[in-house]
Amino acid sequence: MARGQGQAYLETGLTMGFIVQSVSKRTGEPPYRMTKATKKDALDAAIGLLAQGMKDVTITDEQGQIYSTSEFVDLIENPSAK
């Protein structure tokens, strides 16, 4: 079995950061994806995508937890709750 990029990161002890992803506002275009090193950068990027009219924005953290738009907006509005 071929070793994937994620496996190589785990073996070297590096982290992949946060993955920000959204569905394009244009039908037929692939999802837009980017990686960010910090939670704040990921939140800023996600907010930027929403401001551009992107749909279904999600953030995936280093442990694989996926946060939907409503979840990360709640995190912004109530940072001590999470």
pTM score of the predicted model = 0.68
**Segment 44-69, tens digit of pLDDT:** 999 999 888 887 899 998 888 899 88
Domains contained in the chain, number:
1
Predicted confidence at residue 5, as pLDDT, reads 43
What range defines the domain where residue 24 resides? Answer: 19-77
Predicted confidence at residue 15, as pLDDT, reads 57
Q: Would residue 11 count as lying in a domain?
A: no
Strands 18-23 and 66-67: unpaired
**Segment 5-41, tens digit of pLDDT:** 444 444 444 556 899 999 887 888 888 899 999 888 9
Q: Would residue 10 count as lying in a domain?
A: no
What one-letter code names the amino acid at 50? L
Predicted confidence at residue 3, as pLDDT, reads 41
